[in-house]
Structure 1
Amino acid sequence: MAPEAPVVGNQFMAPCSVDLTIVPKMMTISACTFVVMDANDNIVFKVGKFMSPLAPRILLDAAATPIVSFHKKSMSLHSTRKVYRGDSKDSRDLLFTVKKSLFNTTLNVFLASNTKKEHCDFKIRGNWSEKSCTIYSGTSSNVIAQMHRRHRLGRTALGNDQFVVTVFPHVDYAFIITLIVILEEISEQGQMIGRAAG
């Protein structure tokens, strides 16, 4: 498969597949909701949230430097998220937009350069509750990353509800992790709406 162009940065691309383990809901004083580790259990990313109900979530590196922030668009039928570089919300720093399809569970991703949005640049299909999803390039069948649940002994301190994202070679893994977190956020939002309606 031809290399994908980086979405967040070249430093987040590798010539081989990368397996990243995501440990959800690590609630700490810093309001970290996810920790992402490599195959050697080194922390690669943290996902945090500013201390405000309307604040965006933010992807941080291991040194707590903001990489991207994702903002929920209010009053959106498509559960839209806009993702910006660092902790910016300047239109010049917009990287991509994620929209949920009205008719199924697919999430469509549009890069900032795709202003017409006639076709998506990436799409996500899967089930968050099953911790299973696949990310495709554009409207093609080319898979660039997959997520699946993993139960492993020896990480009880971090929690057992872990899952692994396999990012294919030459694919921006910071971008992929951001998409996975947005999938979780939109799924949680849908469940809350469903409970409220019931």
Structure 2
Amino acid sequence: MLSSLMESTISVNDINGDQWFKVIRGQMWKIHERRLLLDVADNPLLTFQHKLLTTRRRWVAYRGDSIDPKDVLFTVRQSSLIQVTASSRTKLAVFMAGNMEDGVCDFYVKASDSETSCDIFIGETKTMIAQMHRSQSFFSGYLGKDNFTMSIRPNVDYAFIVSLVVILEEINAERKFQELVMKSVMLK
């Protein structure tokens, strides 16, 4: 379960409440936003960073706490240039380090229309490897704390799936902020 996505630290716990991972957010106003995924002993597993000045929202994940290009594990980008409204379903293409030519993706993330769930598939197949569902209540929305339930198939890297869900949520939050700005500009 992921909780508190918009806070500076995200806790990832199992069904018994035992912490497995945590995600630390970098400073929001830095030129490249970074997130660091840590294990329970605070060892850095991977760093993921938002790439600016790209035609599609793009994030790059690196091994450990590195941001060296030789340590790239995978990249995530929107699968389409046009995903501009909240009602348009967010779709992400994931390319592993050996497949950076933006050909056929290695994994695919598809959010529901309401952005309360997502499915993660192998490549462009219908083979699902994980699902995420947002648990919503009045108090979670009011307090700004989100809880997510994830189902992950056996032999799938949990840290990888957690990072994809966090990236998806960051992309959705960025898009919603941009929509809000556009609406306020149009009202003037």
- TM-score normalized by the length of structure 2: 0.82
Q: 1:59-70 counterparts in 2 under 5 A?
A: 59-70=37-48
Q: For 2:26 and 2:82, locate their aligned partners in 1 and report how far apart those are by CA, in whole Å.
A: 32
Q: CA deviation at 1:127?
A: 3.6
Q: Distance in 1 between matches of 2:6 and 2:82?
A: 33
Choose which of 120, 131, 152 in structure 1 pairs with 2:116: 131
Cα deviation 1:66-124 (Å, max 9, x = unaligned): 11111111111210001001111111110000010224521000001013321000000
Residue 18 of structure 2 aligns with which residue?
Answer: 42
**2:98 partner amino acid:** S
Q: Which runs of 5+ in 1 are unaligned?
A: 1-20
| Among candidates 103, 127, 138, match of residue 142 of structure 1 | 127
Identity of aligned residues (%): 39
| RMSD between superposed Cα atoms in Å | 2.3
The DSSP-based 3-state class of the residue aligned with 2:36 is: strand
Note if 1:121 corresponds to 2:106: yes
After TM superposition, the runs of 4+ consecutive aligned structure 1 residues lying more than 3 A away are 127-130, 158-161
Aligned twin of 1:15:
none
Distance 1:98 1:195 in 2: 24
**Matched residue of 1:164: which SS?**
strand
**1:49–1:151 CA distance, 2 compared to 1 (3 A):** closer
Task: Report the more deviating stretch, 183-192 or 97-106.
Answer: 97-106
SS in 2 for 1:92: helix
Which residue identity does 1:189 align to in structure 2? E
1:180 aligns with 2:156: no
Structure 2 gap ranges (5+)? 84-89, 184-188
Would the aligned equivalents of 1:151 and 1:160 in 2 still touch at CA under 8 Å? Answer: no
> 2-side partners of 1:46 and 1:129: how far apart?
26
Counterparts of 1:92-103 in structure 2, within 5 Å, are 92-100=70-78, 101-103=80-82
- Contact 1:109/1:122, CA 8 A, preserved across alignment: yes
What TM-score does the superposition give when structure 1 sets the normalisation length?
0.78
Tell me, yes or no, if structure 1 residue 195 matches structure 2 residue 180.
yes
Pair 1:77-2:77 in alignment: no
Deviation of 1:149 after TM superposition, in Å, equals 2.6
Q: Do the aligned residues in 2 keep the contact of 1:128 with 1:183 (CA within 8 Å)?
A: no
Superimposed CA distance per residue, residues 112-145 of structure 1 (whole angstroms, 9 cap, x where no aligned partner) = 1013321000000014854200000001000000
Question: 1:139-178 CA deviation, whole Å, 9 max, x = no partner?
Answer: 10000000113369xx9xx987311010011111100000
